[in-house]
């Protein structure tokens, strides 16, 4: 995936951080379900972790990056794929 700006780079860093941090995974899980996600809440979790990015950055990375993290693979295995359906909109 080609990263176009700092926000998208921070989304990639956030995904790596979430993949290794069970507490962040639990926070993210609260905002994913029923085939959608609350992108504003996930952006806020990222901000609290020190990584600034927009909902647009998040959606762009999730739509363009075809490689799932271990955490994202677990969501798929649990029938909760991280689709780009923003329930916050």
Report pLDDT for 73. Answer: 74
**Percent of residues, the chain, with pLDDT higher than 90:** 46
Give a yes or no: residue 86 inside a domain.
no
Residues 6+ apart with CB under 8 A from 76: 68, 82
Residue 18 within a domain:
yes
pLDDT score, position 84: 52
Q: Does some domain include residue 87?
A: no
Of residues 80 and 23, the one with the higher pLDDT is 23
Q: What does the buried/exposed string (b/e) look like for 38-72 if buried means 16 or more CB atoms within 10 Å of the residue's CB?
A: bbbbbbebbeebebebbbebbbbbbeebeebbebb
Domains held by the chain: number: 1
Q: What is the per-residue pLDDT across 53-73, written as a single tens digit (0 to 9) for each?
A: 999 999 898 888 778 777 777
Average pLDDT, stretch 66-89? 65
In terms of residue numbers, what domain contains 59? 6-77
- Band (pLDDT 50/70/90 cuts) for residue 16 is very high
């Amino acid at each position: 995936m080609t990263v176009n700006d700092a926000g998208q780079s921070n989304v990639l860093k956030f995904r790596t951080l979430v993949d290794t941090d069970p507490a962040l995974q639990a926070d993210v899980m609260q905002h994913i379900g029923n085939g959608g996600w609350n992108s504003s809440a996930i952006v806020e979790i990222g901000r609290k972790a020190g990584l600034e990015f927009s909902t647009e950055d998040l959606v762009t990375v999730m739509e363009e990056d075809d490689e799932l993290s271990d955490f994202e693979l677990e969501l798929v295995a649990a029938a909760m794929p991280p689709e780009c359906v923003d329930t916050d909109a």
